[in-house]
A and B are shown apart, each in its own frame.
Chain A
Amino acid sequence: MSELIIDGSEGEGGGQILRSALALSLATGRPFVMERIRARRKKPGLLRQHLTSVLAAKEIGHATVDGAELGSSRLHFAPSTVTHGDRHFSIGTAGSTSLVLQTILPPLLNVPGRSRISIEGGTHNPLAPAWTFLERAFFPLLSRMGAQVGGRLVRPGFYPAGGGRVELEIEGGALRPLELLEQGAIEERRAEAWFANLPVTIAQRELETLGRGLELGPSERHIVEVEAAGPGNVLFLSLYTRTSTEVFSACGERGVSSEQVARRVEKEARRWLEAQVPVGEHLADQLLLPLALAGGGTFRTVAPSLHTLTNAKVIERFLPVKTHFITEAPDRCRVDLRPA
């Protein structure tokens, strides 16, 4: 199969384009060369977390790789066949386990077989999908498409200490297209403030602020103390509807008050509620790839992010599909992914 040449500095221009390309290359068997990797970033080239993704992709796809070095601005990646198996990966600098997962999960979905995968690192990081979001919102949709994905959070890992661990079981199968156009009636709301090695008042203040903003009742508020290597805090709001689940979250950070953390979650949830769509900004980002591998699908979401648009472009390089973004309202968009 002919080799694709991808400019890594295009679009969002960071690690996302690399992870998508790796996942698609594994899923399609098509080799690629990525040039100008993260060229416009402050520290250009491959960083440790990207290198971990490249090496994980190399392992599951038995790929031939050139340029997998720290600081490398050019990567050549040629996979052979993707195989299931029991595998363990770890990501340094308390980097997000979700980012490794983004790279290796899609290609395993439509290959028959079963994998058991454990990943160590950060599980709830400020700039990456939180594990809990993947587990509650994303994995059930994958199962609906024909692949069984079950996950377990063994231990949360927060920045800066890391040391978290997640475990997954993936059973691949032929993926079916997904249609998710209407936001279902909300059946359950669950706000959770997790904290580790920090005062409980942080969690209390977060829940108080979020509860007041969204009029949550006492049974909808949960304080959860978790065991972790270092200090950490994350606030979730899970909204279970008749058709699907959405999870919005924000991490507590030094220098950011509990009230601010709560307002971030509230803002995102409100946006979703007001848009009256089933798929939020981050879930849209996750769904594109499985849809493309299934050969099509459609969902309604908020205005797409640069991440999502970049993702769609990379997908079109690898697969004969076309993604249509149909804006229905200022913050409401229907995404149709169809064979080109």
Chain B
Amino acid sequence: MKPVVVLGFYGATLDAASGPRRWDRWRPTVDLGRHEDLLIQRLELIHQPEHGGPAEQVALDFRSVSPDTEVRLHPLRIKNPWDFEEVYGALLDFAGRYAFAPEREDYLVHITTGTHVAQICLFLLTESRRFPGRLLQGSPPRRQGQGNVGSYSIIDLDLSRYDLLRRRFATEHAEGSSYLKAGIPTRNEAFNGLIDRLEAVAMASRSPILLLGPTGAGKTHLARRLYELKKSRLQVEGAYVEVNCATLKGDQAMSTLFGHVKGSFTGALKDRPGLLQAADQGLLFLDEIGDLGLDEQAMLLRALEEGRFLPLGADRAVESAFQLVAGTNVDLPRAVQAGRFREDLLHRIDLWTFHLPALKERLEDLEPNLDYELLRFETKHGRRVSFAPEARRLFLKFATGPEAQWPGNFRELSGTVERLATLARRGSIDRAAVEEEIAARRQAWQGRAPSGDLLERVLGDQAELDPFDRAQLAHVVQVVAESGSLAEAGRRLYAVSRQKKKSLNDSDRLKKYLTSMGLSYELIHARKNS
């Protein structure tokens, strides 16, 4: 057991007493020395210099009831003990000077005495580990004024030690994560992990959050849920403001975001506050932030760093404290290289970055999302719709099978469900409707040429290729880049010969082809996002 050291204030109200009758009273500091089950090695008693006399009396009385305790007095000048800043500063300095040795001594921070401000400061300093100890709270005996000993409790702010509280926090965290997922029981581990992290970050921080991911992956949806979660936890008071930067063009962009004053340009007939101001104390979601103009980027950076900005034509800055959530599907570092995006702004918003995976990267979540979309349809249209069992199997086989592309991600899935549900007869989606939708999807996806960009990225400054080879290679590279393994890519690329059992080893065949082109599976995956 490490020796116990108590730090606390001389209580000018509760500890102060003179004459023999002082022993009848409950004096919180002296009381600490009277507990049979608490042995204090040292008491560090902080007091105002003018209270030196009474504090010395407390020290004497303490030694009398606890001769094993060394009492040290620390005169500390605090002009106004009700001034938060001054008290906090004085205690912070004290903590800085004090030679804490938590490996050898067990510190208890006594919060029964001192002004409420002092108690709050002690709490904060203990919570932030500037005082590396636990809190000590005394309480008076049931019958006061008879010299009886009170009681005490030791409070460890490391809440993980409190099983009940820990379970409550775990439940709250799980509820938060589930809320962000709109209650959809998603199965993809990477996605679930991402949401758990996002929940933790969003609850602990007001810093910008950057959501990356392809269009339709659910960025807007997530930003809105994030706001609602923070609102339910009383972390934001203001509004949720959402804008797609791709829709902001020219002068209107500045004015829409930052507002203007009457007469600042032709047509500015009255003051307009702007979206940043509308999001004060709330959450601002800037989707497609990569499309924001350079001037607007500069203004946004200032608003983020200083909490203030200048509306068009205004000569006084306005203030707005909002949490920024930015969304994009473009590669921002490349946009920086190309001079289309400010590097400083990127660094400012690239603090908490979350990559939302495409639907195709988490096909195991398609089924729960399908149910969610059906439920949503029901809520929206007041009609309950479900798949006929065979139709459901058929749809899921296609939607999660090797053919599945889902370039429009969850938005595309949502549209598909909406079409199926709308055309459903008597609330049932049948096999014919599903077959029709599958055909429509196939057609939509067939036209998707592999992007020339991907091939360029993967090949780098490799030797030139004939158009004949380029077309084939582009498709192969696209499939490899989309696949989770070489074997998966092999199965898809040699689907026909596979069925005829002509080829025994698709992976090997593909690997040889890639090698002949100076490529490999690893290389393609390394370069596909570069």
A residues contacting B by CB (< 8 A) are 43, 47-49, 51, 69-71, 90-94, 120-121, 159-163, 196-198, 229-231, 254-255
Contacts and interface: CB of A to CB of B under 8 A. Distances in A.
8 contacts: A43-B36, A51-B39, A92-B66, A92-B68, A92-B69, A198-B20, A230-B20, A255-B146
Contact of B37 (A43, A196, A255): A43
Contacts of A49: 36
A47 B147 contact: no
A70 B39 contact: yes
B24 interface: yes
Contact of B20 (A71, A91, A120, A197): A197
Contacts of B437: none
Contacts of A160: 23, 34, 65, 147, 149
Contact of A69 (B1, B33, B147): B1
Given A230-B23, A231-B21, A47 B37 contact: yes
Nearest to B143: A255
Contact of A92 (B1, B23, B24, B33): B33
B147 A159 contact: yes
A121 B21 CA distance: 19
Say whether chain A's binding surface is mostly helix, strand, loop, or mixed: loop
Contacts of B36: 43, 47-49, 93
B18 to A, nearest CB: 12
Contacts of A229: 61, 64
Interface of B: 1, 20-24, 33-39, 61, 64-69, 146-147, 149
B256 to A, nearest CB: 67
B65 A90 contact: no
Contact of A231 (B23, B39, B65, B66): B23
Contacts of A92: 33, 39, 65-69
A159 B36 CA distance: 13
A70 B1 contact: yes
Given A159-B147, A255-B146, A94 B37 contact: no
B149 to A, nearest CB: 7
Q: In the complex, which of the residues A196, A197, A254 has the most CB atoms of chain B within 10 Å of its own CB atom? A: A254
B59 to A, nearest CB: 13
B35 A93 contact: yes
A93 B34 contact: yes
Given A51-B39, A70-B39, A231 B146 contact: no
Contact of A254 (B24, B33, B64, B67): B24
A161 B1 contact: no
Given A43-B37, A231-B23, A90 B68 contact: yes
Nearest to A254: B146
Contacts of B38: 48, 70
Q: In the complex, which of the residues B35, B36, B61 has the most CB atoms of chain A within 10 Å of its own CB atom? A: B36
Given A92-B66, A160-B65, A161-B61, 10 more contacts: A47-B36, A48-B35, A51-B39, A92-B68, A93-B149, A94-B34, A160-B147, A163-B64, A230-B22, A231-B21
Q: In the complex, which of the residues A70, A71, A121 has the most CB atoms of chain B within 10 Å of its own CB atom? A: A70
Contacts of B39: 48, 51, 70, 92
A121 B20 contact: no
A51 B24 CA distance: 27
B20 A90 contact: no
Say whether chain B's binding surface is mostly helix, strand, loop, or mixed: loop
Contact of A93 (B21, B23, B33): B33
Q: In the complex, which of the residues B24, B65, B69, B146 has the most CB atoms of chain A within 10 Å of its own CB atom? A: B65
A162 B65 CA distance: 6
A142 B35 CA distance: 35
B475 to A, nearest CB: 74
A52 to B, nearest CB: 8
Given A48-B36, A231-B23, A120 B67 contact: yes
A160 B146 CA distance: 10
Nearest to A88: B67
Contacts of B22: 230
Contacts of B69: 92
Nearest to A161: B23
Nearest to A70: B39
A254 B34 contact: no
Nearest to B66: A92
A90 B22 CA distance: 23
B1 A94 contact: no
Nearest to B36: A47
Q: Closest 7 interchain pairs by CB?
A: A197-B20, A90-B67, A47-B36, A254-B146, A163-B64, A230-B23, A92-B66
Contacts of B1: 69-70
Given A48-B37, A70-B39, A254 B66 contact: no
Nearest to B35: A93
B65 A93 contact: yes
Nearest to A95: B36
B65 A161 contact: yes
A284 to B, nearest CB: 27
A230 to B, nearest CB: 4
Contacts of B146: 254-255
A70 B39 CA distance: 8
Contacts of B61: 161, 229
A71 B147 CA distance: 24
Contacts of A163: 64
B147 A93 contact: no
A15 to B, nearest CB: 10
Nearest to A164: B64
Contacts of A121: 67
A92 B63 CA distance: 9
A94 B65 contact: yes
Contacts of A91: 67
A43 B68 CA distance: 21
Contacts of B37: 43, 47-48, 70-71
A69 B38 CA distance: 11
Contacts of B23: 160-161, 230-231
Q: In the complex, which of the residues B33, B34, B64, B69 has the most CB atoms of chain A within 10 Å of its own CB atom? A: B64
B21 A162 contact: no
Contact of B66 (A51, A69, A93, A196): A93
A225 to B, nearest CB: 13
A51 B41 CA distance: 14
Contacts of A94: 34, 64-65
